[in-house]
Structure 1
Amino acid sequence: MTTDSTAADFLLDARGASRQLGAWVVGTAFTRDGTACAFALGDGTLRIARPHELRDEWASVPAHDGAVLSFCVDARDGFLSGGDDGRLVQVSPDGAVTEVAKLGAMKWVEHVAAHESGLRAAAVGKQLHLFDGKGKKLKTLTTPSAVAGIAFDAKGKRVAASHYNGASLWFVAAKEDKARLLEWKGSHTTIAISPDGTHVVTAMQENALHGWRLSDSQHMRMSGYPSKTKFLSFTARGKWLATSGADSIVIWPFFGGGPMGKAPTELAGGDGVLCSAVACHPQHEIVAAGFADGLVLLAEIASGRVVPVAAPGHGPVSALAWNASGSHLAFGTETGFAGIVDLSKR
């Protein structure tokens, strides 16, 4: 895949806004109603933009004394952020910072997740802390080794955590907090649960993915990546799993018996530049992808058609997010470049 820079710049230039934010973009997310978008930075601040008023100033909000380590949209309103100051904070769309929990001055809140039901999760070391929408602590779950990723299922009934030698899966409302242990030797990092709740997939340190079919604990091994996979994203109906870590967008089929024994489909590859981030559209079978040279594009799964969003030249893409309706896409890079593009029909 080759795109010349002028064409690649087009969508961002014509239908978006960008800023140089001055620090690594750790994560990005839109509020659930889509009225605000935030970029979480390695310098401990959030930058909040209004997607419908893109030319306006992006407010700077000091969230942590140190770096933001983990970031997501909050359960109901605003954003949830974990820092190396041991704090879990909620940041409202207008920039008000509320401490949800102080989890230890010398502890890092490395992973956060939230579900629209009101649940929030934050991981510190081997402990996974669960909170309700008001910030009340519900319980603390313990994993065999340090948590390396968290995911809620689509209904918010189960929470999964990846760790060394596998993953643990709990029912949030269970009286007894006994985890179902999904075992596989090695170091498991990023984790995802399929939208229908039938599969759990992790990325591994060994440049491979591992999956479990929950109905019968069938293992799935998806290998052949030249680099580590940091992003896993299921399409809206769960037919495909899009992944980073190769010089194309690698997507695995999760229909007709799942990915066992099947080759993946590769989109938008061919020029040797690693895909560093992926995010599937919330409704359509379209994948947004960012590459190690800063290129951002959209790829349609059925046709393989590619639409360039932002030109290369701003460092590896480290964050990607859609708003809930799929009309806006946000991205950020390791060098602090960030953009929001309006993709709505005009």
Structure 2
Amino acid sequence: MELTKHWAAQLDDYAIDLAWSADGARLAAASAAGGIGVFETPTGTRTALLPGHADGANVLGWAPSGHLLASGGQDGTVKFWDGAAGQHTATAQLGQAWIEHLAWRPAADGQRATLAAAAGRELVFLGADGSVRHRFKPAPKTLSALAWHPGGGALAAAYFGGVCIWDADDHLAQKEYAYGNGIHALVWSPDGRWLVSGNQDPSVHLWLPESDTELHMSGYEGKVRFLSFDCDSHWLATSGGRDACLWDCSGEGPEGREPTMLPHEAPVCSVRFQHQHGLLATAAQDGVVQLWSPERPKPLRATVRMPSKATKLVWSPDDRYLAIGTEKGSVYVLRCEA
């Protein structure tokens, strides 16, 4: 297994977010300074430089189909762009709080495109034209993570002290779970069975919403900020120290099982499974990025070293490319080859 450089680009500041278009033809890269570059996947040619957000960009998200790109910034706005044409199409002003979380509802037949956006304690559903479709009651504390159920029927929203699962259509709370600490990350397993949080305490907490069962794994060195499931919902990768941890979520789940430890020489700052295949990418603060095959007795498959700390790892939709953003504003697109 090899990771080979396909192309690289330079932003004007810290690479704060990366996002692939649904067809994999374009990669959007947001700079902390506010601008957003759009690059063609085959060549790395920058086809657009969007003005983004004057006070700084925070987050990006392509719609599940088409060329619509959304961005959230420190100016309290969500902006919509035609990523192919490089044109601004709409703006939603949500207030003064930073827009820190955006999540598009997974595509399904007959559903309108819906974007969930969080700013401070406010959660809204936006249409593709920037209109506010629904504004939820304010959360008890600042919203810290959003995660759509894979079927698109519900959105989980986390805040200090708990998680609420909102119905996507009638906007009523399906479940509310108390959790007595801060939550940094939230993810559903692809089969919709598990809802998992990475926490301040530091720990990982799992809910089985169908049975209201809860599991808890503690003992991490630091806060758990990154989570990722493999496509089969078997393996859960977590950060939280110098090792990435792999938990076996098959059967009754990971509680009582020893995790597989994937070592780095510096704290792990990102974990990301492929969409359709079994490779896991992990990155550490010393710039080392590694590929792993969890099912193998010797799981390490490849190692590359970036010139600075990785800020984002994002696989292309077809899993052929791994995009890496760095704290010095570099963006690398690596080809994954057997």
TM-score over 0.5 for the pair: yes
CA distance in 1, matches of 2:272, 2:68: 20
Match of 2:110 in 1: none
User: SS of the residue aligned with 1:11?
Assistant: strand
Segments of 4+ in structure 1 off by > 4 A? none
CA distance in 2, matches of 1:189, 1:340: 27
- Trace 1:155-166 onto structure 2 (pairs within 5 A): 155-166=151-162
CA distance in 2, matches of 1:164, 1:144: 8
Structure 2 counterpart of 1:171, which letter? D
Q: Among 5, 9, 19, which residue is 1:29 paired with?
A: 19
Q: How many residues align?
A: 329
Match of 2:328 in 1: 335
Pair 278,91 (structure 1): closer, same or farther in 2 beyond 3 Å: farther
Structure 2 counterpart of 1:96, which letter? Q
Match of 1:66 in 2: 55
CA distance in 2, matches of 1:289, 1:72: 21
Match of 1:313 in 2: 307
User: SS of the residue aligned with 2:266?
Assistant: coil
Q: Does 1:297 align with 2:282?
A: no
- Trace 1:82-161 onto structure 2 (pairs within 5 A): 82-94=72-84, 95-104=86-95, 106-117=96-107, 118-142=113-137, 143-161=139-157
Q: Does 1:280 align with 2:273?
A: yes
Name the Cα RMSD after superposition: 2.0
Residues 26-84 of structure 1, C-alpha deviations (whole Å, 9 max, x = no match)? 11111000110011110101122111113x34643211111112222323334221100
Structure 2 counterpart of 1:99, which letter? A
Contact 1:12 1:339 in 2 (8 A): no
Gaps of 5+ in 1: 1-7
CA distance in 2, matches of 1:309, 1:61: 33
Shift of 1:173: 0.8
More strand by percentage = 2
Pair 123,246 (structure 1): closer, same or farther in 2 beyond 3 Å: same
Structure 2 counterpart of 1:254, which letter? C
Q: Among 182, 201, 204, which residue is 2:196 paired with?
A: 201
Contact 2:125 2:134 in 1 (8 A): yes
CA distance in 2, matches of 1:297, 1:19: 21
CA distance in 2, matches of 1:295, 1:97: 36
CA distance in 2, matches of 1:297, 1:78: 32
CA distance in 2, matches of 1:134, 1:193: 27
Pair 46,157 (structure 1): closer, same or farther in 2 beyond 3 Å: same
User: SS of the residue aligned with 1:181?
Assistant: strand
Gaps of 5+ in 2: 108-112
**Stretch of structure 1 that moved more, 152-161 or 89-98:** 89-98
User: SS of the residue aligned with 1:148?
Assistant: strand
Q: TM-score, normalised by structure 2?
A: 0.91
Residues 180-235 of structure 1, C-alpha deviations (whole Å, 9 max, x = no match)? 21112111121111112122111111121112111222221122221222211111
Residues 135-179 of structure 1, C-alpha deviations (whole Å, 9 max, x = no match)? 3322112322111000101111100101011100011112x6235
User: SS of the residue aligned with 2:254?
Assistant: coil
Match of 2:319 in 1: 326
Q: TM-score, normalised by structure 1?
A: 0.89
